[in-house]
Structure 1
Amino acid sequence: MYTLLSGLYKHYTQKEEFYVIILGLDNAGKTTLLERIKSEYSGVPGLAPEKIAPTVGLNIGKVDISNARVNFWDLGGQRELHSIWEKYYSECHAILFVIDATDKERLDEVKQTFESVISSDEIEGVPVLMLANKQDVPSSLKVHDIKETFNQIALKLGARDSKVLPVSALRGEGVREAVDWLFVRLQRNRTNRPPVYRS
């Protein structure tokens, strides 16, 4: 009897977990975004922007949305760290690709990096959300400019869910809308990438 009750309790208390990797070049604002996501969903202020150092390796953030937990893996954006990104592809349920919309000089590098990411077979069918960050800066590229630049690559995304959204990680503008969009896609893509269950 105890085993049955224990099994039922475990079944009803286990939580779905999803893993989202945050990618992009160095200085795109990935860690600032992660801190903002954590504060938006937990109500606890994140790390102050001036205390955020470049990521070497990985930063992790966990937030509960609805009845699920979403784990964010913020991976270092320096070129020499790009080779470790692939190690996370097979376990991820979605990709958040962050662009520094003020850095027009590196747009070609961003394009090549993004193309390399979405060309991997390991992330076939995984939702991709591109965020045009730093929209609080008046000179930043707007979403339609970025879409125009990435139009040729968009064909490689195939039938998977993808979108480009404007955000300001610093001010929090558009962050909740971006994560909510992503969460709906995580749920929708569960047949292709089932969640992990944890007690």
Structure 2
Amino acid sequence: MYTLFTGLYKQWTQKEEFYVIILGLDNAGKTTLLEKIKSIFLGVPGLPPEKIGPTVGLNMGKVDIASTRLTFWDLGGQRELHSIWSKYYSECHAIVFVVDACDRERLEEVKTSFESVITNDEVEGVPVLMLANKQDVPSAMRMHEIKEVFNPIAVQLGAKDSKVLGVSALKGDGVKDAVDWLFVRLQRNKVNRPPVFTA
């Protein structure tokens, strides 16, 4: 009888957990985004921007929405770290690709990196959210400019669920909308990428 109750309790209390990887070039604002997500959804102050340094390896954050846990893996964006990105593809349930909308000079490098991510066989069927960050800066590329550059690549996504959104990770503008979009797509995509279960 104890075993039955233990099993039922475990079933009722466990959460669906989805892994979301945050990718992009260095200085795109990935860690700032993760800190803002934690701040919005956990109600705790994130690291102040001046204390956020370049990610070497991995930063992680977890937020719960209803009975679902989203675990974010913020991976380093320096060129020499791009080779480790693919090690996370098979386990991830969604990809967030952050673009520094102020950095026009590295746009070609961003395109190449993004294309190498979305054409990898291991991300087949995974929702992809591109965030044009730093929209609070007057000189930032606007959404129509970003879409013009990345729409030709997006055609390669085929059946993947994808979206481009403008955000300011620093101020938080658009961040909740981005996570809400992810949450809905993760729920829809459970057949292709089932969640893991955690207590």
Does TM-score exceed 0.5, indicating one fold? yes
Alignment of 1:64-103 (within 5 A): 64-103=64-103
| 1:25 equivalent in alignment to 2:25 | yes
The aligned residue for residue 147 of structure 1 is 147
1:161 aligns with 2:161: yes
Shift of 1:160: 1.1
Return the alpha-carbon distance in structure 2 between the equivalents of residues 70 and 97 of structure 1: 16
Query: Which residue does 1:195 correspond to in 2?
Result: 195
Match of 1:176 in 2: 176
Residue equivalent to 2:49? 49
2:90 is paired with a residue whose SS is helix
Tell me which residue corresponds to 1:134: 134
> Structure 1, residues 101-157: CA drift from partner, whole Å, max 9, x if none?
000000000000000000100010000000000000011011111110112111111
Gap runs ≥5 in structure 1: none
Question: Which 4+ runs in 1 deviate beyond 3 A?
Answer: none
Unaligned stretches of 5+ residues in structure 2: none
Please report how far the alpha carbon of residue 9 of structure 1 lies from its aligned counterpart in structure 2 after TM superposition.
0.7
* Identity within the alignment, %: 76
1:10 matches 2:48: no
Distance (Å, rounded) in 2 between the aligned partners of 1:14 and 1:67: 8
**Residue identity in the other structure for 1:8:** L
For 1:195 and 1:99, how far apart are their aligned partners in 2? 27
- The TM-score with structure 2 as length reference comes to 0.99
* Aligned residue pairs, count: 199
RMSD: 0.5
- State the distance in 2 between where 1:144 and 1:73 align: 28
Matched, 1:104 2:97: no
SS of alignment partner, residue 90 of structure 1: coil
Which string of whole-angstrom CA distances, capped at 9 and with x for unpartnered residues, describes residues 1-28 of structure 1? 1111111111111110000000000000
| TM-score normalised by length of structure 1 | 0.99
* Letter paired with 1:110: V
